[in-house]
Structure 1
Amino acid sequence: MKNKVVIITGANKGIGKEAAKQIAKLGAKVYMACRSLDSANQAKEEIIKETGNQNVFVIHLDLADMNSVKSFADEFKQRENKLDVLINNAGIWTKSKQIFELGVEMTFAVNVVGQHFLTNLLIEELKNAAPSRIINVASHYASGLKIDDINFGKRKFNETLAYKQTKQANRILTREWARRLEKYNISVYSLTPGFVPSTELFREQNVVGKFLLKVFALIEGRTIEEGADTIVWLASTDKINGSKGGFFNQRKEEKCKFFNSEDERRLWEKCEEFLTAVKENQLK
């Protein structure tokens, strides 16, 4: 991947960090987009030391803060005029319901709206690098999306369902992005890293939850290296045997059960509504 420019969100820990390391080993210039600068800079030094690739950089990004998303994109554009691969990896699993300042539930704000906004802001750079790719880290653990009740105003809030609906949204939006960007020679894919119990995603689980995670890990758990493998493959392989907008698991495309063009359009429009509010807020 020499001469390739890659952004990885949430690259300071877990599968994001492993993916950043493996992609750096392949010779790419890697931008680690992270909320915690201390953790990210420590990870960056580890990656440089292990890979020998000096072209690893950190830029602050908080996907819960749309001003931070805009600032990240602005700083990246000052440094680079092209982007070969955007890897939307960062995600959260919140224990309690929190409504984001623009009226979006926090899990959805970070895992979907922030990611959608970031992708929007980097389209020109992706065009400049075409053929380029966008890779969205989704999950098998996905369901329950109610496009007319994203904020759980009509349902009782459930932390698990709040997370699962964002992963369904990631998979749905991947196909809509793929359709819209195909004419620019930008390919878009989603994937599941599998169940990786040792990531920071589950840090807010209670004692019972952590016990169940250990049980599930024995049955179908994957290591961080295994979880990152499909991300790295989608980012680096010359040829992907699968459809644009496809959902991948262990380097193979799987049929996605959330295939509905009307839902894809409606969810896109809902995200655009949120972004209109963001842009109006930034212009004040």
Structure 2
Amino acid sequence: MADFRRLPNLAALRAFEAAARHGNFSRAAEEIHVTHGAISHQVRALEEELGVALFARHGKRIAITPEGERFAAALRRALTEIADATAALQAGGRQKRLTVTALPSFAARWLSPRLGRFIEQYPDLEVMLQSSGQLTDFMRESVDIGIRFGRGNYPGLAVEKIMDDWYYPVASPRFNRGKLPRTPDKLMQHPLLRCENEPWTPWFQAAGLDLLEPTGGLVFQDSSMLVRAAVEGHGIALARHALAAPEVAAGELVRLFDVAVQCPQSYYLVCLPESLQKPQVRVFREWLLQEIGSQVQPA
């Protein structure tokens, strides 16, 4: 039988795991609600107890050592098992829960309308959908799986690219009293709607236009609001296919021209590596890939 009296201080283990995950003592301190100095002291004490350097220190910067990386991975598995056991004990006879996180725009416009089909297939699962523009701390927030829109660089997580996306202009069929531009060079005669950090310039170039990026007018932080503004006739929007396709199919929006440019970011399925073994995560991943496979891509 294991001698649990020989375990290192649990507070020090938690401090080290957080520091290893963030690669930063200050962010680990914020997570655990202690001072930077407390994290540094606990990690130093743990290194002395183990007789191993867990971090290499370069002034104020730290870098985890190979030994520290292996130890952090083992700790993460153990802490995840404890969290899962706690959740199972608290759940008792209640339904098994799957917690999914995604950007608000993707959650509202793409994922939420489809989740009913998933629940029909797995009625014993309780699905908690969280939407946030902030990166989720999967360990701290007890999230099972997430869908992120980016470039795939998510350290410490299992990452799988699941879908690309494309930009193209859309407008309400009632915009400008139904007189929509017939050629791309007429676009600048109308208000052009856009999202922050999603410029028109790449689409202009793909359409063979030598135009400057639009300035002024409406700029949105949320892609859902962009699509809604286009539906309401406030201008011509540069929209992502995954988010605008339902309105295009319903006739609430018209896709202008046959030019689409691929987004530099893609959609990724992310989770803690240990979470891939959870039955609810496996069935959600399989269902999600089937839904994506049945989606019509832009020409």
Taking structure 2 as the reference length, the TM-score comes to 0.27
Computing the radius of gyration over CA atoms, which structure comes out larger, 1 or 2? 2
Task: Using structure 1 for the length normalisation, give the TM-score.
Answer: 0.28
Structure showing the higher strand proportion among its residues: 2
